[in-house]
Amino acid sequence: DGGITQSPKYLFRKEGQNVTLSCEQNLNHDAMYWYRQDPGQGLRLIYYSQIVNDFQKGDIAEGYSVSREKKESFPLTVTSAQKNPTAFYLCATEKDTSNQPQHFGDGTRLSIL
């Protein structure tokens, strides 16, 4: 079954804890993106990667980290430095960077305990 898999669907973070959100794709897409969405708001770009072993900061990268060791995987770590992590996190992929649309996973909802 082809697609973008985000896990877990729901995640709870204790204060001072780092948590990692998983994003895996089997679409053979080159580019991967992480967005944050707060209630009633639009999408804000956290990090993106257009090629393996390379990634770039988006508009709100502070308090987050990523890696892109494999084409299929782009995990996002929400560190303890991110003081307001409660949000809906969306992973997206794009076939390449030639004006293609992005496709989204089902998202992970992160809350603070």
Partner 1 sequence: QKEVEQNSGPLSVPEGAIASLNCTYSDRVSQSFFWYRQYSGKSPELIMSIYSNGDKEDGRFTAQLNKASQYVSLLIRDSQPSDSATYLCAVTESNAGNMLTFGGGTRLMVKP
Residues found near partner 1 in the complex (CB under 8 A): 41-43, 45, 48, 90, 94, 97-107
Cβ distance to partner 1 smaller for residue 69 or 106: 106
Q: Regarding beta strands 31-37 and 87-94, do their DSSP bridges make them parallel or antiparallel, or are they unpaired?
A: antiparallel
Cβ distance to partner 1 smaller for residue 17 or 28: 28
CB of 11 to partner 1, least distance (A): 15
Sequential DSSP letters for 58-74: -TT-TTEEE--SBTTB-
CB of 63 to partner 1, least distance (A): 21
Cβ distance to partner 1 smaller for residue 16 or 99: 99
Residue type, 52: V
Is the omega angle on the peptide bond into residue 39 within 30 degrees of 0, that is, cis?
no
C-alpha 99/C-alpha 113 separation (Å) is 40
CB of 76 to partner 1, least distance (A): 15
